[in-house]
Amino acid sequence: MLRVLHEQGPLELGQLATESCLLQSSLTRMIQPLEDEGLVARHTPPEDRRKTVLGITEAGVALIQRHSAESAAIFARIDAEFGAERVEQLLDLLEDLQRLDLRQTSTAS
């Protein structure tokens, strides 16, 4: 979630949940502790008081930067051991899966 906010900037909660591949209810539970730690800040746009927008703070960016070398090493190892082409295929498949609208239930057996 922090990485998504760092890469994309402030997002409305629904967008952030989608981009982070999280259920909105899970995201909602995560916000308060991150806000308490000063890693994210939320605000309500005056033009639509129903929305909540979350953004990463300087402390959140610093946290990402502190772990960026370790994260890069992990991704390099995955590429080396699993294969860059297979990783790309996996990411493409996950994007396809994310696009499925699973809210509709089928009554057919």
Across the range 6-29, mean pLDDT stands at 91
- Work out the pLDDT band at 104, boundaries 50, 70, 90: low
Q: At what angle do helices 84-99 and 58-82 cross, to 10 degrees?
A: 120
Q: By residue range, what is the domain housing residue 68?
A: 2-99
pLDDT the model gives residue 90: 93
CA atoms within 13 A on the CB side of 105: 1
Query: Within a domain: residue 37?
Result: yes
* Residue 93 included in any domain: yes
3-class DSSP state of 48: coil
Q: Is 108 within a domain?
A: no
In this prediction, residue 23 carries a pLDDT of 85
Q: What is the pTM of this model?
A: 0.75
Partners of 39 in the beta sheet?
none
The per-residue pLDDT of the chain, averaged, comes to: 90
Give me the pLDDT at residue 100, please.
80
pLDDT 10s digits, 31-66: 999 999 999 999 998 888 889 999 999 999 999 999
Q: How many domains does the chain have?
A: 1
